[in-house]
Protein backbone atom coordinates (compact mmCIF):
# COMPACT_ATOMS: atom_id res chain seq x y z
CA UNK A 1 0.00 0.00 0.00
CA UNK A 2 1.40 3.37 -1.03
CA UNK A 3 1.97 5.80 1.85
CA UNK A 4 0.45 9.30 1.92
CA UNK A 5 3.89 10.89 1.44
CA UNK A 6 4.43 8.93 -1.76
CA UNK A 7 0.99 9.92 -3.02
CA UNK A 8 1.87 13.55 -2.40
CA UNK A 9 5.17 13.13 -4.24
CA UNK A 10 3.45 11.50 -7.22
CA UNK A 11 0.81 14.24 -7.24
CA UNK A 12 3.48 16.93 -7.24
CA UNK A 13 5.35 15.23 -10.09
CA UNK A 14 2.13 14.99 -12.09
CA UNK A 15 1.43 18.69 -11.47
CA UNK A 16 4.95 19.65 -12.63
CA UNK A 17 4.48 17.56 -15.77
CA UNK A 18 1.15 19.24 -16.54
CA UNK A 19 2.69 22.70 -16.07
CA UNK A 20 5.62 21.83 -18.35
CA UNK A 21 3.30 20.57 -21.10
CA UNK A 22 1.09 23.67 -20.77
CA UNK A 23 4.13 25.98 -20.95
CA UNK A 24 5.46 24.18 -24.00
CA UNK A 25 2.12 24.43 -25.81
CA UNK A 26 1.56 28.06 -24.84
CA UNK A 27 5.11 28.94 -25.93
CA UNK A 28 4.56 27.32 -29.31
CA UNK A 29 1.17 29.02 -29.64
CA UNK A 30 2.88 32.34 -28.97
CA UNK A 31 5.34 31.68 -31.79
CA UNK A 32 2.46 30.69 -34.05
CA UNK A 33 0.61 33.87 -33.15
CA UNK A 34 3.62 36.02 -34.03
CA UNK A 35 4.37 34.08 -37.18
CA UNK A 36 7.91 33.32 -36.01
CA UNK A 37 7.48 29.55 -36.19
CA UNK A 38 5.03 27.07 -37.60
CA UNK A 39 4.97 23.26 -37.42
CA UNK A 40 5.97 21.40 -40.55
CA UNK A 41 2.80 20.26 -42.31
CA UNK A 42 2.50 16.61 -43.30
CA UNK A 43 1.17 17.68 -46.69
CA UNK A 44 2.43 20.45 -48.92
CA UNK A 45 1.20 23.86 -47.90
CA UNK A 46 -1.06 25.46 -50.55
CA UNK A 47 0.92 27.69 -52.89
CA UNK A 48 -0.81 30.69 -54.46
CA UNK A 49 0.76 32.67 -57.28
CA UNK A 50 1.06 36.36 -56.54
CA UNK A 51 0.56 36.09 -52.77
CA UNK A 52 4.24 36.42 -51.84
CA UNK A 53 4.70 39.16 -54.42
CA UNK A 54 1.80 41.10 -52.88
CA UNK A 55 3.15 40.74 -49.35
CA UNK A 56 6.70 41.54 -50.44
CA UNK A 57 5.47 44.83 -51.89
CA UNK A 58 4.85 45.94 -48.29
CA UNK A 59 8.57 45.55 -47.70
CA UNK A 60 10.05 46.74 -50.95
CA UNK A 61 7.41 49.16 -52.18
CA UNK A 62 6.53 49.31 -55.86
CA UNK A 63 9.29 46.96 -57.01
CA UNK A 64 9.21 44.89 -60.17
CA UNK A 65 9.69 41.17 -60.60
CA UNK A 66 10.92 41.85 -64.13
CA UNK A 67 14.45 42.36 -62.84
CA UNK A 68 16.69 39.48 -64.02
CA UNK A 69 18.00 37.33 -61.20
CA UNK A 70 21.39 36.76 -62.82
CA UNK A 71 23.50 39.14 -64.91
CA UNK A 72 23.62 38.39 -68.64
CA UNK A 73 26.41 38.87 -71.19
CA UNK A 74 24.16 40.62 -73.71
CA UNK A 75 23.51 43.45 -71.27
CA UNK A 76 27.22 44.30 -71.18
CA UNK A 77 28.43 43.16 -74.61
CA UNK A 78 26.03 44.80 -77.06
CA UNK A 79 24.91 47.70 -74.90
CA UNK A 80 26.76 49.13 -71.92
CA UNK A 81 24.16 48.83 -69.16
CA UNK A 82 24.48 51.96 -67.01
CA UNK A 83 24.70 51.49 -63.26
CA UNK A 84 24.33 54.24 -60.70
CA UNK A 85 26.35 52.48 -58.00
CA UNK A 86 29.62 50.67 -57.55
CA UNK A 87 29.73 47.18 -56.06
CA UNK A 88 28.08 45.76 -54.06
CA UNK A 89 24.99 47.75 -55.11
CA UNK A 90 25.80 48.08 -58.81
CA UNK A 91 28.43 47.35 -61.44
CA UNK A 92 29.72 50.87 -62.10
CA UNK A 93 33.45 50.78 -62.83
CA UNK A 94 33.61 46.95 -62.99
CA UNK A 95 32.04 46.43 -66.42
CA UNK A 96 35.20 45.24 -68.21
CA UNK A 97 35.98 42.63 -65.54
CA UNK A 98 32.35 41.55 -65.46
CA UNK A 99 32.26 41.18 -69.24
CA UNK A 100 35.06 38.62 -69.15
CA UNK A 101 33.33 36.67 -66.36
CA UNK A 102 29.97 36.61 -68.12
CA UNK A 103 31.67 35.29 -71.27
CA UNK A 104 32.49 32.00 -69.50
CA UNK A 105 29.49 31.62 -67.18
CA UNK A 106 25.74 31.34 -67.75
CA UNK A 107 22.58 33.13 -66.61
CA UNK A 108 19.69 30.73 -67.20
CA UNK A 109 17.34 29.34 -64.56
CA UNK A 110 16.85 25.56 -64.96
CA UNK A 111 13.72 24.64 -66.88
CA UNK A 112 12.69 22.37 -64.00
CA UNK A 113 12.25 25.52 -61.89
CA UNK A 114 11.18 27.90 -64.62
CA UNK A 115 8.26 25.68 -65.66
CA UNK A 116 6.76 25.29 -62.19
CA UNK A 117 3.34 26.88 -61.79
CA UNK A 118 4.05 27.56 -58.15
CA UNK A 119 7.59 27.57 -56.76
CA UNK A 120 8.01 26.40 -53.16
CA UNK A 121 11.32 27.61 -51.78
CA UNK A 122 13.27 27.30 -48.56
CA UNK A 123 16.27 29.40 -47.59
CA UNK A 124 18.50 27.38 -45.28
CA UNK A 125 20.49 29.61 -42.96
CA UNK A 126 23.63 28.53 -41.14
CA UNK A 127 22.34 29.10 -37.60
CA UNK A 128 22.81 26.83 -34.59
CA UNK A 129 19.02 26.31 -34.43
CA UNK A 130 19.40 23.70 -37.16
CA UNK A 131 21.52 21.47 -34.94
CA UNK A 132 19.48 18.39 -33.94
CA UNK A 133 16.43 19.83 -35.74
CA UNK A 134 15.75 16.70 -37.86
CA UNK A 135 14.52 18.98 -40.67
CA UNK A 136 16.47 17.22 -43.41
CA UNK A 137 13.60 15.31 -45.02
CA UNK A 138 11.30 18.35 -44.91
CA UNK A 139 13.94 20.59 -46.54
CA UNK A 140 14.51 18.10 -49.35
CA UNK A 141 10.82 18.31 -50.37
CA UNK A 142 10.96 21.96 -51.47
CA UNK A 143 11.22 22.79 -55.17
CA UNK A 144 14.09 25.21 -54.55
CA UNK A 145 16.60 24.91 -51.69
CA UNK A 146 18.90 27.91 -51.28
CA UNK A 147 22.04 27.56 -49.14
CA UNK A 148 24.67 30.02 -48.00
CA UNK A 149 28.43 30.24 -48.29
CA UNK A 150 30.45 27.27 -47.02
CA UNK A 151 27.72 25.66 -44.90
CA UNK A 152 28.26 21.89 -45.16
CA UNK A 153 25.70 19.28 -46.11
CA UNK A 154 27.81 16.13 -45.87
CA UNK A 155 27.46 14.70 -42.37
CA UNK A 156 24.52 16.96 -41.49
CA UNK A 157 21.87 15.61 -43.87
CA UNK A 158 19.46 14.66 -41.07
CA UNK A 159 19.24 18.27 -39.92
CA UNK A 160 19.77 20.31 -43.09
CA UNK A 161 18.86 17.96 -45.94
CA UNK A 162 20.93 17.00 -48.98
CA UNK A 163 19.28 18.96 -51.79
CA UNK A 164 20.86 22.21 -52.97
CA UNK A 165 19.34 24.15 -55.86
CA UNK A 166 21.40 27.31 -55.38
CA UNK A 167 24.31 28.22 -53.16
CA UNK A 168 25.14 31.89 -52.70
CA UNK A 169 28.81 32.58 -51.98
CA UNK A 170 31.62 35.13 -52.30
CA UNK A 171 35.35 34.36 -52.75
CA UNK A 172 36.26 34.36 -49.04
CA UNK A 173 33.37 31.97 -48.29
CA UNK A 174 34.16 29.55 -51.14
CA UNK A 175 36.17 27.18 -48.94
CA UNK A 176 34.03 24.15 -49.67
CA UNK A 177 34.26 21.31 -52.18
CA UNK A 178 31.58 22.07 -54.79
CA UNK A 179 31.31 18.39 -55.72
CA UNK A 180 30.92 17.17 -52.13
CA UNK A 181 28.63 19.80 -50.62
CA UNK A 182 26.39 20.35 -53.66
CA UNK A 183 24.41 18.35 -56.21
CA UNK A 184 25.62 17.94 -59.81
CA UNK A 185 23.10 20.54 -61.02
CA UNK A 186 23.50 23.06 -58.16
CA UNK A 187 23.82 26.67 -59.30
CA UNK A 188 26.77 28.44 -57.67
CA UNK A 189 25.73 32.08 -57.37
CA UNK A 190 28.51 34.62 -56.90
CA UNK A 191 27.63 37.57 -54.68
CA UNK A 192 30.16 40.25 -55.67
CA UNK A 193 31.03 42.74 -52.93
CA UNK A 194 34.02 44.28 -54.74
CA UNK A 195 35.72 44.28 -58.15
CA UNK A 196 38.36 41.78 -56.96
CA UNK A 197 35.58 39.20 -56.59
CA UNK A 198 35.07 39.27 -60.36
CA UNK A 199 38.83 39.06 -60.85
CA UNK A 200 39.03 35.99 -58.59
CA UNK A 201 36.26 34.04 -60.31
CA UNK A 202 37.74 34.86 -63.73
CA UNK A 203 41.15 33.47 -62.76
CA UNK A 204 39.56 30.34 -61.32
CA UNK A 205 37.32 29.59 -64.30
CA UNK A 206 39.83 30.59 -67.00
CA UNK A 207 42.85 29.12 -65.18
CA UNK A 208 44.79 32.36 -65.13
CA UNK A 209 47.35 33.54 -62.59
CA UNK A 210 45.65 33.54 -59.23
CA UNK A 211 44.89 36.65 -57.20
CA UNK A 212 46.40 36.72 -53.71
CA UNK A 213 45.72 40.26 -52.53
CA UNK A 214 42.62 42.37 -52.01
CA UNK A 215 40.67 39.98 -49.78
CA UNK A 216 40.04 39.96 -46.05
CA UNK A 217 40.64 36.21 -46.14
CA UNK A 218 42.52 34.28 -48.82
CA UNK A 219 39.98 32.60 -51.13
CA UNK A 220 40.64 29.17 -52.67
CA UNK A 221 43.35 29.07 -55.34
CA UNK A 222 41.95 25.85 -56.81
CA UNK A 223 38.21 25.37 -57.13
CA UNK A 224 36.93 22.43 -59.15
CA UNK A 225 33.68 23.67 -60.66
CA UNK A 226 31.98 23.65 -64.06
CA UNK A 227 31.79 27.28 -65.33
CA UNK A 228 28.30 26.60 -66.70
CA UNK A 229 27.06 26.12 -63.13
CA UNK A 230 28.26 29.56 -62.04
CA UNK A 231 25.89 32.53 -62.03
CA UNK A 232 26.46 36.20 -61.13
CA UNK A 233 23.78 37.60 -58.85
CA UNK A 234 22.18 40.83 -59.98
CA UNK A 235 23.32 43.60 -57.55
CA UNK A 236 19.72 44.86 -57.63
CA UNK A 237 18.93 42.45 -54.80
CA UNK A 238 21.75 43.79 -52.67
CA UNK A 239 20.49 47.30 -53.37
CA UNK A 240 16.88 46.71 -52.31
CA UNK A 241 17.90 44.59 -49.30
CA UNK A 242 20.14 47.41 -48.09
CA UNK A 243 17.79 50.26 -48.97
CA UNK A 244 14.33 48.87 -48.22
CA UNK A 245 15.07 46.41 -45.42
CA UNK A 246 17.99 48.02 -43.58
CA UNK A 247 17.70 51.69 -44.64
CA UNK A 248 21.39 51.80 -45.52
CA UNK A 249 22.73 54.58 -47.74
CA UNK A 250 23.99 53.48 -51.14
CA UNK A 251 26.95 55.84 -50.91
CA UNK A 252 29.05 55.07 -47.82
CA UNK A 253 32.57 55.96 -46.66
CA UNK A 254 34.96 53.27 -47.87
CA UNK A 255 36.12 52.41 -44.36
CA UNK A 256 32.60 51.72 -43.08
CA UNK A 257 30.71 49.92 -45.84
CA UNK A 258 27.78 48.38 -44.00
CA UNK A 259 26.05 45.74 -46.08
CA UNK A 260 23.41 42.98 -45.83
CA UNK A 261 24.46 39.45 -44.94
CA UNK A 262 24.32 36.72 -47.56
CA UNK A 263 21.37 35.28 -45.63
CA UNK A 264 19.23 38.41 -45.87
CA UNK A 265 20.22 38.69 -49.51
CA UNK A 266 19.09 35.10 -50.14
CA UNK A 267 15.68 35.79 -48.58
CA UNK A 268 15.34 38.89 -50.76
CA UNK A 269 16.16 36.78 -53.82
CA UNK A 270 13.62 34.12 -52.79
CA UNK A 271 10.87 36.72 -52.39
CA UNK A 272 11.57 37.74 -55.97
CA UNK A 273 11.75 34.21 -57.44
CA UNK A 274 9.29 32.14 -55.43
CA UNK A 275 5.56 31.83 -54.73
CA UNK A 276 6.06 30.41 -51.23
CA UNK A 277 9.08 31.23 -49.07
CA UNK A 278 10.08 29.41 -45.89
CA UNK A 279 13.28 29.91 -43.91
CA UNK A 280 15.21 27.74 -41.47
CA UNK A 281 18.28 28.31 -39.31
CA UNK A 282 18.08 32.10 -39.05
CA UNK A 283 18.67 34.21 -35.98
CA UNK A 284 21.68 34.93 -33.78
CA UNK A 285 22.12 34.36 -30.02
CA UNK A 286 21.44 37.25 -27.65
CA UNK A 287 24.33 39.71 -27.44
CA UNK A 288 25.03 38.76 -23.81
CA UNK A 289 25.29 35.06 -24.70
CA UNK A 290 28.92 35.09 -25.73
CA UNK A 291 29.50 31.34 -25.54
CA UNK A 292 26.61 30.27 -27.78
CA UNK A 293 27.82 29.17 -31.22
CA UNK A 294 26.26 30.94 -34.20
CA UNK A 295 26.57 28.12 -36.77
CA UNK A 296 25.36 24.53 -36.74
CA UNK A 297 28.68 23.22 -38.04
CA UNK A 298 31.48 25.10 -36.28
CA UNK A 299 32.39 26.44 -32.86
CA UNK A 300 32.47 30.19 -33.44
CA UNK A 301 30.53 32.80 -31.48
CA UNK A 302 28.94 36.19 -32.13
CA UNK A 303 32.35 37.75 -31.47
CA UNK A 304 33.40 36.65 -34.97
CA UNK A 305 30.87 39.09 -36.46
CA UNK A 306 32.75 42.11 -35.10
CA UNK A 307 34.08 44.23 -37.93
CA UNK A 308 32.08 42.32 -40.54
CA UNK A 309 30.05 45.33 -41.62
CA UNK A 310 26.82 43.49 -40.78
CA UNK A 311 24.24 44.86 -38.35
CA UNK A 312 22.69 41.62 -37.08
CA UNK A 313 20.25 43.42 -34.76
CA UNK A 314 18.84 45.45 -37.64
CA UNK A 315 18.60 42.34 -39.80
CA UNK A 316 16.71 40.51 -37.05
CA UNK A 317 14.12 43.30 -37.06
CA UNK A 318 13.85 43.06 -40.85
CA UNK A 319 13.23 39.31 -40.73
CA UNK A 320 10.69 39.68 -37.92
CA UNK A 321 8.85 42.19 -40.09
CA UNK A 322 8.74 39.61 -42.92
CA UNK A 323 7.39 37.01 -40.51
CA UNK A 324 4.78 39.35 -39.07
CA UNK A 325 3.26 40.20 -42.47
CA UNK A 326 3.45 36.57 -43.63
CA UNK A 327 5.87 37.16 -46.51
CA UNK A 328 7.94 34.26 -45.15
CA UNK A 329 7.37 31.48 -42.61
CA UNK A 330 9.89 29.94 -40.28
CA UNK A 331 10.70 26.25 -39.84
CA UNK A 332 12.83 26.98 -36.78
CA UNK A 333 12.33 29.27 -33.78
CA UNK A 334 13.54 32.82 -34.36
Residue 121 confidence (pLDDT): 97
Residue 150 confidence (pLDDT): 96
Residue 21 confidence (pLDDT): 47
Long-range Cβ pairs for the range 131-135 (8 Å, 24+): 131/159, 131/296, 132/159, 133/159, 133/280, 133/281, 133/331, 133/332, 134/158, 134/159, 135/40, 135/159, 135/160, 135/161, 135/280, 135/331, 135/332
Residue 284 confidence (pLDDT): 76
Residue 15 confidence (pLDDT): 67
Residue 71 confidence (pLDDT): 96
Starting at the edge strand found earlier in the chain, the sheet holding 144-148 runs: 230-232, 187-190, 166-169, 144-148, 120-124, 276-280, 329-330
Print pLDDT tens along the chain (334 aa). Answer: 456 676 677 667 766 665 554 544 443 333 333 445 666 666 677 888 889 999 999 999 876 778 899 999 988 876 666 788 999 999 999 999 999 999 999 999 999 999 999 999 999 999 999 999 999 999 999 999 999 999 999 999 999 999 999 999 999 999 999 999 999 999 999 999 999 999 999 999 999 999 888 998 999 999 999 999 999 999 999 999 999 999 998 877 665 578 999 999 999 999 999 999 999 999 877 766 667 788 999 888 766 666 666 688 899 999 999 999 999 999 998 7
The half-sphere exposure of 5 on its side-chain side, counting CA atoms within 13 A, is: 0
Residue 230 confidence (pLDDT): 98
Residue 24 confidence (pLDDT): 46
Among candidates 229, 236, 73, 225, which has minimal Cα distance to 165? 229
Q: Cα–Cα distance between 53 and 117 in angstroms, integer?
A: 14
CB 171 within 8 A of CB 218: no
Q: Cα–Cα distance between 245 and 327 in angstroms, integer?
A: 13
Residue 33 confidence (pLDDT): 38
- What pTM was estimated for this model as a whole? 0.87
Amino acid sequence: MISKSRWKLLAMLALVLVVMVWYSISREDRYLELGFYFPIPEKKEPCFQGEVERKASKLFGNYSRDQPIFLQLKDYFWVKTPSAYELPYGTKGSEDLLLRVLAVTSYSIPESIQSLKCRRCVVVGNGHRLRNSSLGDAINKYDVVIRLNNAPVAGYEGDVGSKTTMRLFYPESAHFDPKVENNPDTLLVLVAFKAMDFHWIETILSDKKRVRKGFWKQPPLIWDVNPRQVRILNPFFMEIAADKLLSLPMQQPRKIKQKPTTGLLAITLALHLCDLVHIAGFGYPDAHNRKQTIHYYEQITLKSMAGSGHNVSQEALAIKRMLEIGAVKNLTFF
